[in-house]
Every structure is written in structure tokens, then in C-alpha cells.
Structure 1
Amino acid sequence: MHSKLRLAIVGLGLVGKRHAEAVALVPDVELVAVVDPNESGQDAAIGMGVPCFETIGAMLESVGPDGVILATPTLLHVEQAMTCIEHKCPVLVEKPIGVSALEAHALVQMANNRDIPLLVGHHRRHNPLIRKARQAIDDGLIGDVRAVQGTCWFYKPDHYFDAASWRKREGAGPVSVNLVHDIDLIRYLCGEVSAVQAVAAPSARGFENEDVASALLEFKNGAIGTISVSDSVVAPWSWEFTSRENPNYPPIPESCYLIGGSEGSLSVPDLRVWTHQDRQQDWWTPLSATTLTRDASDPLVNQVAHFRDVILRKAPPLVSGSEGLRTLQVIEAIQVSAQQRVRLEIQDITASALGTYRTVV
């Protein structure tokens, strides 16, 4: 019996290194191995004092960790996660869970059938401010959610793409890489998305993917949403700038989500609740704002601690494989809708593997 829960990380890029830092801060957890075929990853593993393997299979056979964190390119997620599950090893896979909803569905089914914990790295749900926002909505502070606006605008420098050529390829644009986080939070806060209609523009830098896209979201509860993403726009309105979550981004006192309800509205991440005086829903009545208080802690550290508790069967997953799959369905629908310029209704993938969307002309 080991005194600490033993975790391995696959992929020591930007995100993998942040996971390693988080593991080091969680009690009763230790990093015991890394998988990375690149020299930079191997050098980083040496600095951490852990062995580095070139393949995930070799690491699982040699080390036998209690859990694995996958921080690799999306194309590898499903295959690598399945390898972990075959070895009966719980896995936390970075977002998005896979390239397509159908392949991700096969992974989720495999994990469920074998009763192996499968978590998806939508770490923003582990941020205390998101927990506070969800509580405010659940407590009825803004009434019924009727509308939401989301903005995800920033400018990624050229060297970001040069450092990893896969970021220039089809399927690795800001819809898949960045908007997936925002869609997951909007689902978590506002409800399930039932249909989307989207548009996208090709990369102005000549890459294979889009660099700006917008979508109209229809929710099962009757709410309507709009969301826009770009990695080629200079602007302050994104989670990265406004949440103060990652110290690598300069903090800006703005918000990136506006959630409108029948009795008030909520802006996130500044957590300001706007209501009419005396709760009179009347546009002639003055509005006032209250800023909600919340705790502050690193969501990546919280996520590792949660992964520990799930592995030990002390807690159910906050973002299960099924949750990651539902978010991927919305992202995939946005991509297909933008390509075909049609409205798509999102089907329940668990009900049929024949198709996950229905085109509505």
C-alpha cells in the first residue's frame, strides 16, 4: 500500500506542465511518471525527478499508476484513454474529450461498462467563482434563465502556432481548442443546448482552421444564447483575461459572459447581480448591482484533488466522460453548422449511434 496516490502525466507541453505543478500542491498525491517522446518533455521529467517513457503502454506496464492525466493533442485522446481503461487505470483527459462525438461515445461506453473513472479536464468548473455563479442561478437570484451572451476574443501570437504545428491544422482552431471551455461553462450554468446555427471565417494567417466564429444557441429550457470566438482579435473580453485564473495572462476588470434572467442578470466572472429595486421587473424602475463574494483557489489544483477523491471513490466526477461528450457534441455541431450553413438540432447520442444531429432546413 502506497502512502500517496500515484499519478502519471502524458504530455508535458504547456498544459501538462501546469498539471504537474498542480499535482505537486495536492496533499497525498505524487507524480511518479511522465510519458513524452519529445526531448523537451524528457528534460522536464528529469528536472521533476521522475522517469519518462516514450509510450503510454510502456509506462502503464512498468509503473502501474493509480491514475493518469492526458495532456496530449486531441487526436490522441480517445486512443490513449482507452489504453488506460484497458489497464483498469482511472484517467483525466484534457478537453475536448475527442475529435468526434461518435468516437468519444465509444470511450465513454467503455469506461462505464468497466466501471473505470473517466473525467474530462474542463477545469473551470472547479473554480470557486463558477460554483458561486451556479449557486446564484440555482437559488433563483436572477429568476429563470432567458438569454446568455458569451465572448471569447484574444490574439495568439505567431510563435504560439510555430511551437506546435498541429495548432495550424484543421480541427485545431479556436472553436475546438478554446470555445469548448466556454460552451462547457454555459451548459453548466444555463442548461443543455438543443440546437445551434453557426458561421465561421477562414484563418487570415492561412492556417487550415477558422480564426473567428459565432453561434446562436437554443436551450432545452427555452433560453437563447449567442457566443463568439476568435484567436485573431485584440480585445479584453475572454475568460483568460477576466477570470484572473492563470497568472500568465494580464488581469482585466471586465466580464465575458452575460446571463439574463426573468428577475435579474448575472455577469461572469465579476459575479455582479443586477436587479430592479424591490424586485420590480419594470424598465422604469432603477437597477442596482450587488457583487457576490466567493473563495479563491486554483481550479487546476482543485481538479487534481477532485481526481484523487474520485479514484478513491469518495466523490462522483464533477465532469464525467458523459459531460465531456455532451460539450463536444455542441462544439461539433457548431463546426458542422458553420461548414454547411444550416441549423442543427442536437440529438441524444446515447439513444442512437446512427447520428448525433438533425439538419433543419
Structure 2
Amino acid sequence: MQSTLRLAIVGLGLVGKRHADAVALVPDVELVAVADPNESGQDAAVGMGIPCFETIHGMFKSVQLDGVILATPTLLHVEQAITCIENKCPVLVEKPIGASTKEALALVQMARARDIPLLVGHHRRHNPLIQKAKEALDGGLIGTIRAVQGTCWFYKPDHYFEAAPWRKRNGAGPVSVNLVHDIDLIRYLCGEVTAVHAVAAPSVRGFENEDVASAILEFSNGVIGTISVSDSVVAPWSWEFTSRENPQYPPIPESCYLIGGSEGSLSLPDLRLWSHLDRRQDWWTPLSSTTLTRAASDPLVNQIAHFKDVIMKKAIPLVSGQEGLRTLQVIETIQLSAKHRTRLDIQDLTASDVEAYRTVV
């Protein structure tokens, strides 16, 4: 392997361009190729002075690569990731890992069998504030976690949907497009979700998908969670507004996650820790708060640096294919539960399940 890693991006749209900017900020990593059949992506690649190919297959035939970032539509993720693995190339797939648990499961098994790194782009885990929250929770600062509450409310303007009509269709609502981020973080911080009971309401704008949904989450460790998402509510309580992660969104000093424990509670992303004075669990005792300190850096840049370390075998994936698969599985179960208005257990993906789905590949 060369001293400077050679990366490629497949799909140079809005997300792909953000990845390109992140690659440029990571030492010893170079963006050497782009694959994009669209004229806009090709023009962007030309502007960067980077060779652009119409297909991922053509790119692999022409360029030697150490890693690939897939920033394409979800329906293409598994097919293109398989192409990377067949070319023995580590791959970072944008979230969600695939369009269905069934196809994603086969992809994860294939990558594992061939020992090719497969990472999923749940970049929020790479945010220093999330790492600090993870450290605090694992260190017992709030005692035993008992409950978690998440809110993902915002209002997407009409032109957002007019620009891409597929966003109005079934499967493109806020549960699959937005809530997948929040579910991944809640899993990371609080444990595995084993059952859900969800409800959803049809879009008031007349679209095919939902525009509001809520779910009760049951965890393997006994935690109970509630989460709500809507892209038709005017409100400040979402990760986009509160985390200051993406400068495109105006920052608001609010929280969108509340994690409650036996000795205290933690709100995010403000990292505010609440407990009774002298750690006395007594509702007659005054509560006090302190804000945990943490470093600040761009999680997308951190994610590329981590991808580099994984390629060089200096680290194991923070968000592996298996992790991305499990998050997708929770999202799928929420959608199915909302459809049938019933509580559903989440199937444990065992080796026999993997074997059963092997034919997808």
C-alpha cells in the first residue's frame, strides 16, 4: 500500500461533495477518481481536476484504489458495495446501508467472508460530543440508564420535494430518511433495540409517505425509549438545529435527546448533566447541572480519517456493516409496526439467517 491512500467517490451530489471536502482535509489521503453518470457530478469532478467515470466498473478498470466512498441513492448501495468487495476494495457506504435488511444482510456476510472492510456512514458517531456522551454513560455518570427520549422535528419546505419528486413516495418519508440517524445514535448510546410499537400519520401535503411518526422502543438491557419524527412540524428540537454540526442549519441552543438514569440525566447535544445535590436520589432535593466539556471537530473529516486507519489496519470500524444493518433493521421494524399498528419484536440475525439470505448476492 502506498504512503498516500487513493480514494474514490461514487456519486458527486450534495453528500458526495461534502465527502470530497472532507477528504481534502485529511493528511495522506487523496481523492483520485469519481464515478457519476450525471452531468452535474461530472462537471463538479472536472472543476476539481479529478477524472470522472460514468460507471463504477469503468472506474475500477482504469484506476488503482485503496478505498471507495459510496454517496449514491440507497437503492444502489448494496449492488455497488458488492462491486467494491469483488475488487477487494474497502468501502464506506452512506447511510442507510441498503434498501432492505434482506439485501444488506447478504452484503455484510460477503464482506465478512472476504475480509474486506465495510463501513457505514453514520457520521454522527464520529462527533466528539457523541464520544464524550458515550464515555460519560459507559462510565456510570448517570447510573443505570432507564429511559431515553428523542425528538426529530423540523419543517421541510415545498421546494425540497419539488426538486426531487422521489421524496414524496413511499419509503422516502422522515422515518427512513431522517430517523435512521437518530436510531443509530440511540443504539450506540443506550443499547440494542429488541422491540418497537409505532404509529404514523399520512402526509398532510398529500404525498404517498408519512410526515409524522412516533415509536416506543424496548431495549435488551431494560431501557424504554420514545422517539418522534416529523418533517412537517415547525420546531427547534432536532439534531440538525441543535448540534451545530452542519453550518447550513441555523444553530439553536436546545436539546433533542434526553437520557435518564438512576443517578442523573444527560441531555444532548448540549452535554448537560443533571443530578441531585450530593447525588441523593430524592425528588425533594434540589437538582443541579453541569455541562461536560469536549473537543470540537468536523465528524465528516473524522470519519474519513477513521476510514484511512481502518484501511491501514490501525483501527476496527466504529460503524461496521453489521452496525449499519442493525440500525436499518430497527427502522424497517418501525415502518412495519406503524403499518399494522402493533408491537413487533426485532429478529436476531443469526448465522442461519445469513445463510438463508445468501442467494441475494
TM-score tier after normalising by the smaller chain length:
over 0.9
Q: Map 1:81-92; keep pairs closer than 5 Å.
A: 81-92=81-92
Asked if structure 2 preserves the Cα contact closer than 8 Å seen for 1:192 and 1:220, the reply is yes
Structure 2's unaligned 5+ residue stretches are 357-361
Residue in structure 1 matched with residue 57 of structure 2 by the alignment: 57
Sequence identity percentage = 83
Asked if structure 1 preserves the Cα contact closer than 8 Å seen for 2:265 and 2:273, the reply is yes
Q: Map 1:165-314; keep pairs closer than 5 Å.
A: 165-314=165-314
- Most deviating of 261-270 and 28-37: 28-37
For residue 171 of structure 1, report the CA deviation from its aligned partner. 1.1
Amino acid at match of 1:83: T
Partner Cα separation in structure 2 for residue 278 and residue 116 of structure 1: 50
Asked if structure 2 preserves the Cα contact closer than 8 Å seen for 1:102 and 1:353, the reply is no
Asked if structure 2 preserves the Cα contact closer than 8 Å seen for 1:349 and 1:355, the reply is no
For residue 159 of structure 1, report the CA deviation from its aligned partner. 2.0
For residue 354 of structure 1, report the CA deviation from its aligned partner. 8.9
For residue 319 of structure 1, report the CA deviation from its aligned partner. 0.3
For residue 172 of structure 1, report the CA deviation from its aligned partner. 1.4
Q: Map 1:49-128; keep pairs closer than 5 Å.
A: 49-128=49-128
Q: Kindly tell me: are residues 88 and 72 of structure 1, through their superposed partners in 2, closer, same or farther at Cα, counting changes over 3 Å? A: same
- Most deviating of 205-214 and 258-267: 205-214
TM-superposition CA deviations, 1:10-67 (whole Å, max 9, x none): 1111111110110010000011111111111111001111011111111111113111
For residue 161 of structure 1, report the CA deviation from its aligned partner. 2.0
Asked if structure 2 preserves the Cα contact closer than 8 Å seen for 1:23 and 1:31, the reply is yes
Asked if structure 1 preserves the Cα contact closer than 8 Å seen for 2:119 and 2:317, the reply is yes
For residue 109 of structure 1, report the CA deviation from its aligned partner. 0.1
Amino acid at match of 1:310: V
Residue in structure 2 matched with residue 135 of structure 1 by the alignment: 135
Residue in structure 1 matched with residue 24 of structure 2 by the alignment: 24
Residue in structure 2 matched with residue 353 of structure 1 by the alignment: 353
Residue in structure 1 matched with residue 322 of structure 2 by the alignment: 322
Residue in structure 1 matched with residue 160 of structure 2 by the alignment: 160
TM score, norm. by length of structure 1: 0.96
Asked if structure 1 preserves the Cα contact closer than 8 Å seen for 2:143 and 2:262, the reply is yes
Partner Cα separation in structure 2 for residue 313 and residue 21 of structure 1: 24
Please state whether the residue corresponding to 1:353 is helix, strand or coil: helix
Partner Cα separation in structure 1 for residue 29 and residue 178 of structure 2: 29
For residue 206 of structure 1, report the CA deviation from its aligned partner. 2.2
How many residues in Structure 1 have an aligned counterpart in Structure 2? 356
Partner Cα separation in structure 1 for residue 95 and residue 113 of structure 2: 22
Partner Cα separation in structure 1 for residue 154 and residue 51 of structure 2: 37
Residue in structure 2 matched with residue 10 of structure 1 by the alignment: 10
For residue 228 of structure 1, report the CA deviation from its aligned partner. 0.4
Amino acid at match of 1:82: I
Structure 1's unaligned 5+ residue stretches are 357-361
Partner Cα separation in structure 2 for residue 326 and residue 353 of structure 1: 13
Q: Kindly tell me: are residues 313 and 234 of structure 1, through their superposed partners in 2, closer, same or farther at Cα, counting changes over 3 Å? A: same
For residue 110 of structure 1, report the CA deviation from its aligned partner. 0.2
The ranges of structure 1 where at least 4 consecutive aligned residues each deviate by more than 4 angstroms after the TM superposition are: none
TM-superposition CA deviations, 1:122-164 (whole Å, max 9, x none): 0000000000000000111000000000000111122222222
Amino acid at match of 2:203: S
For residue 351 of structure 1, report the CA deviation from its aligned partner. 4.4
Amino acid at match of 1:339: K
Q: Kindly tell me: are residues 354 and 296 of structure 1, through their superposed partners in 2, closer, same or farther at Cα, counting changes over 3 Å? A: closer
TM-superposition CA deviations, 1:186-214 (whole Å, max 9, x none): 00000000100001111222222111111
Asked if structure 1 preserves the Cα contact closer than 8 Å seen for 2:105 and 2:354, the reply is no
